[in-house]
Amino acid sequence: MIVTTQLTKRFGHVLAVDHVDLTVREGDRYGFLGPNGSGKTTLVRMVLGLVYATSGKIEVLGEPVPARIAHVLPQIGSLIESPSAYGHLSGRANLALIDAAGTGPGGGRRGRRARIATALDRVGLSGVDDRAVRKYSLGMRQRLGLAAALLRSPRLLVLDEPTNGLDPQGIREVRDLLAEINAAGTTVFLSSHQLSEVEQLCTRIGVIDRGRLVLQDDLARLRGPTGRVIVRSPDADRAAALLDGRVADRDADRLVVADSDAAGVNALLVSAGLRVTEVTEERRSLEDLVLSVTGSGSDRIDGGSAGRPGRPAEVASRDGAGT
């Protein structure tokens, strides 16, 4: 659905996007992760034809962008950075204007009312009255922005921080909505800096750090077993003795065993008469993953890998143009 090849964007001296090869496949729920100022938004804007690449190629829905952008965009729904609306108009009036604007199929006057009603219903604003958008809460604006993105039943949804400003209940609703839309065949490209949001929704992630794509893979594979087993036992001392040589790490009653066979370890311990509270395969958390790639992927001299080091000022200054 989205394929970029050696995509690069330079704003003056600042390299915002640096030779990125991104691939979003049809049906993906793609989570695009990166801290603010990492080039995330610039890349999204290039995909939508708002910002022109310095070099490299973009293909969206099989068509080259920006050459065939007018053909591509009608099939995309987007929420770029933050939702926007004409503050002095009502939500419905805003949707009507957005619906009437632009070319492409499915924007005719006929059925506009129904399209707007459906979109509002999907995002939970069906009961909205005629008050001006400037009186909306942040959450309502977010939902309105989503409704605008959903107006034309797009093949591809490009969403930037779609749950921003929503309460936990709203976040869950949006997540369920996106999953439902995805199940109906729409590819979802979600850019975010909230790991939990991506972790709970996405099937595939890409991580961008200072303009470079440092990781891109299926979430399931990334989060596959590490080949180690975590054991909790009140008899940790004896267990450690029993598993001598295979204990990689120990923290009070928690042992990390360098063995991929959890059942085998369990059987071994139980047959030795030890009490076992918990035996699980070790899996990496998304947070560890992201921190490890953004850490090791950097060319920083201090090379620290624990925790997030501070970002260089030059990169942070991209926020103005890029986010």
Partner 1 sequence: MIGVELVKLARRPRNWVSIVLLCALPVTVAIFVAVTHLAPPPGQGPALLSAVLSDGQLFPAAALAIVLPIFLPVAVAVVAGDSIAGEANAGMLRYLLARPVGRTKLLAAKLVALIVYVLLAVVFVAVTSYVTGRLLFGSKPAAVTSTGITTNNVVATSLSGTALTPTDILLRTAGTVAFVTVSMLGVGAIALFLSTMSDSSLGAALGALAALITSGVLVALNSASAVSPYLPTRYWLSWVDFFRQPILWRDIDRGFAIQAIYVLVFLGAAWANFASKDITS
Partner 2 sequence: MAAATGTLRRWAVVVAGTAAICALPAAVAAWPVPASALSAAQLRTRIELSARVPYQGYAESDVDLNLPSLPDLGNVVSLLDGTTDQYAWYRSPGQWRADVLTAAGEDDTYQTKVGTFTWNYTSNLLTQILGSQPVRLPRAADLLPPALARRLLSLAGRAASFSRLPSQRVAGLDAAGLRIVPTSKLTTVGAVDIWADPATGLPLQVEVFGRGAAAPLLVARFLDVSLTRPALSTVTPQPAPEVGYTSTELPDVSRILNQFGPPLPDQLAGFARVANPGGLADVAAYGSGLARFVVLPLPQSTGSAAMSAAKSVGASIKITGGTAELIQASLLTVVLVSVPGGLVYLLTGAVTPIVLDHAATALLDSY
Place of tokens 């926020």: 319
29 binds, among partner 2, partner 1, none (CB under 5 to 8 A by kind): none
Residue 86 binds to partner 2 (criterion: CB under 8 A): no
Out of partner 1, partner 2, none, what residue 55 binds, judged by CB under 5 to 8 A for its kind, is partner 2
Return d(Cα 15, Cα 317) in angstroms, integer. 11
Smallest separation, CB 116 to partner 1 (Å): 14
Considering the complex, what minimum distance in angstroms separates the CB of residue 72 from partner 2?
16
Looking at residues 52 to 81 of the shown chain, list those that interact with partner 2 (rule: CB under 8 A): 52-55, 66
Q: Residue 93 binds which one of partner 2, partner 1, none, with CB within 5 to 8 A depending on kind?
A: partner 1
* C-alpha closest to that of 61 among 50, 80, 41, 75: 75
CA–CA distances in Å: residue 162 to residues 36, 145, 166, 301: 15, 9, 9, 36
Of the pair 52, 86, the CB lying nearest partner 2 is at: 52
Q: Choosing among partner 2, partner 1, none, which partner's interface includes residue 207 (Cβ < 5 to 8 Å by kind)?
A: none
Give every CB contact of residue 40 below 8 A, 6+ residues apart in sequence: 32, 33, 34, 160, 191, 193, 208, 322, 323
**Minimal distance, residue 79 CB to partner 1, in Å:** 9
Closest to partner 2 by CB, 50 or 256: 50
What gap in Å lies between CA 249 and CA 230, rounded to an integer? Answer: 9
Q: Is the dihedral of CA 112, 117, 123, 128 positive or negative?
A: positive
Candidates 69, 53, 58, 65; CA nearest to 8 is 53
124 binds, among partner 1, partner 2, none (CB under 5 to 8 A by kind): none
Rounded Cα distance between 266 and 276, Å, is 8
Task: Give the shortest CB-172-to-partner 2 separation in angstroms.
Answer: 41
Q: Quote the distance between the C-alpha of residue 271 and its chain's center.
A: 45
Closest approach, Cβ 65 to partner 2, in A, equals: 11
Q: Report, in Å, the least distance between residue 80 CB and partner 1.
A: 5
Least spacing, CB of residue 294 vs partner 1, in Å: 24
Query: Among partner 1, partner 2, none, what binds residue 3 when CB lies within 5 to 8 Å by partner kind?
Result: none
What's the angle, vertex CA 201, arms to CA 288 and CA 38, rounded to 5? 55
At 322 the three-state DSSP class reads: helix
Closest CB to partner 1 among 141 and 228?
141
Query: What six digits make up the tokens of 37?
Result: 């100022």
Binding residues vs partner 1 (CB under 8 A): 11, 45, 48-52, 69-70, 73-74, 76, 78, 80-82, 84-89, 93, 97-98, 100-104, 148, 321-322
Residue 48 contact, options partner 2, partner 1, none, Cβ 5-8 Å cut-off depending on partner type: partner 1
Residues that bind partner 2 (CB under 8 A): 52-55, 66
